[in-house]
């Protein structure tokens, strides 16, 4: 960590930051989830030490050396018999300083080794749940999704949430405490806005879409934040390691919360996975690979039977229900499907 960045951190923690230092620090925090974790640890040490930040790892050898040097000073002071008050005054002062320093390092080490407690919220298949975070941020979790956050969420400088799956966020505004959604290979940083993140583990594409406010998105490959405004969407292709920024309807950002399904050139294997999560079903496609087949369609509060009728016609497939399992057979060639 360079001196400029360290200066930005200390200014934020001491409530003395400027617009320039805030921008520099926010960009660094958005680069990597590891930076967020590092900052959180620094913030904890700062709170403990009352403006005594520590960059270096615990070094009891340094404390021991300082105490040894103090003993040498005291021995020299003892040769001056006219300076008894100075000698004992210095002894008390130096001993106090190094005892406090040692205690600070000791307590810092204890804090760093204490396991962090995280709260986990998940939505099962066929379910959409609403979660209220400690800062009053509202989160809607789509089926087959989960989020986690520290139990002392409101105490941290960063409001960090880890997401697997899809969630729509209405973030409580707090300019001094950035809200960060960390998903596999992608981080989204905001201060107060409404946006959607889709990051299912088995899907090739990850998507961030903004309804209101402004967000910054970084990926593993692109450390420079891409900023999104309302009606803008960022699609991240994990396999190709590429991002694409496009325009979308604001009404579509959180359409799934109200029961609408929207597919835009979505591979059929991902369509089937989405349907399985939404309707709490198993879908078996046998040996047929539908990866090259893509679907563009909208379904507003339709039953699984109505959705399958459309798929059967568009793809010339046959579907059969056996209990809670749907078996898919047949299908037209997809090499020319767009």
Mean pLDDT on 260-278: 92
Shared domain for 199 and 243, answered yes or no, is yes
Is 54 within a domain?
no
Write the pLDDT tens digit of every residue in 42-61.
776 665 544 333 344 444 45
Residues 128-156 as b or e (16 or more Cβ within 10 Å = b): beebebebebebbbbbbbebebbeebeeb
Q: Can you give the pLDDT at residue 31?
A: 79
Is 104 within a domain?
yes
Shared domain for 174 and 274, answered yes or no, is no
Shared domain for 155 and 244, answered yes or no, is yes
Mean pLDDT on 174-196: 89
Write the pLDDT tens digit of every residue in 206-239.
999 999 999 999 888 877 889 999 999 999 998 8
Shared domain for 187 and 105, answered yes or no, is no
Q: Can you give the pLDDT at residue 30?
A: 79
* For residue 140, pLDDT beyond 90: yes
Contacts 24+ apart (CB under 8 A), 53-58: 53/6, 53/9, 53/10, 53/13, 54/105, 54/108, 55/1, 55/6, 58/105, 58/108, 58/109, 58/112
Q: Residues for the chain: how many in total?
A: 338
Shared domain for 239 and 138, answered yes or no, is yes
Is 28 within a domain?
yes
Shared domain for 218 and 293, answered yes or no, is no
Shared domain for 134 and 249, answered yes or no, is yes
Q: Can you give the pLDDT at residue 3?
A: 72
Q: Can you give the pLDDT at residue 306?
A: 94
Is 335 within a domain?
no
**H or E segment and range at residue 94:** helix 84-113
* For residue 108, pLDDT beyond 60: no
Is 337 within a domain?
no
Quote the percentage of the chain above a pLDDT of 70.
75
Please state the domain count of the chain: 4
Q: Which domain holds residue 66?
A: 60-113
């Amino acid at each position: 960590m360079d001196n400029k960045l360290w200066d930005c951190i200390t200014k934020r923690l001491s409530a003395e930051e400027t617009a320039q230092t805030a921008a520099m620090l926010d960009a660094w925090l958005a680069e990597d989830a590891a930076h967020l974790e590092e900052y959180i640890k620094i913030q904890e040490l700062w709170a403990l030490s009352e403006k005594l930040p520590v960059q270096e790892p615990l070094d009891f050898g340094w404390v021991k050396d300082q105490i040894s040097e103090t003993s040498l000073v005291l021995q020299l002071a003892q040769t001056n018999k006219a300076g008894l008050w100075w000698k004992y005054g210095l002894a008390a002062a130096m001993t106090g300083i190094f005892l406090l320093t040692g205690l600070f390092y000791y307590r810092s080490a204890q804090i760093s080794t204490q396991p962090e407690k995280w709260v986990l919220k998940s939505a099962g298949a066929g379910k959409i749940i609403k979660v209220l975070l400690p800062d009053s941020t509202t989160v809607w979790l789509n089926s087959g999704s989960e989020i986690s956050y520290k139990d002392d969420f409101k105490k941290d400088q960063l409001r960090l949430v880890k997401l697997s799956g899809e969630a729509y966020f209405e973030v409580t505004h707090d300019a001094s405490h950035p809200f960060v959604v960390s998903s596999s290979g992608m981080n989204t940083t905001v201060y107060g806005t409404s946006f959607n993140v889709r990051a299912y583990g088995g899907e090739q594409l990850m998507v961030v879409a903004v309804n209101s406010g402004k967000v910054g998105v970084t990926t593993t490959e692109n450390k420079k934040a891409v900023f999104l405004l309302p009606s803008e969407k960022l699609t991240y292709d994990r396999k190709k390691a590429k991002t694409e920024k496009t325009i979308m309807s604001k009404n579509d950002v959180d359409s799934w919360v109200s029961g609408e399904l929207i597919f835009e050139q979505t591979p059929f294997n991902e369509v089937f996975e989405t349907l399985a999560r939404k309707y709490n079903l198993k879908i078996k496609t046998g040996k047929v690979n539908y990866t090259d087949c893509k679907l563009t369609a909208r379904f507003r509060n339709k039953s699984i039977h109505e959705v399958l009728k459309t798929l059967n016609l568009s793809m010339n497939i046959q579907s059969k229900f056996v209990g809670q399992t749907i078996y898919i057979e047949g299908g037209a060639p997809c090499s020319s499907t767009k």
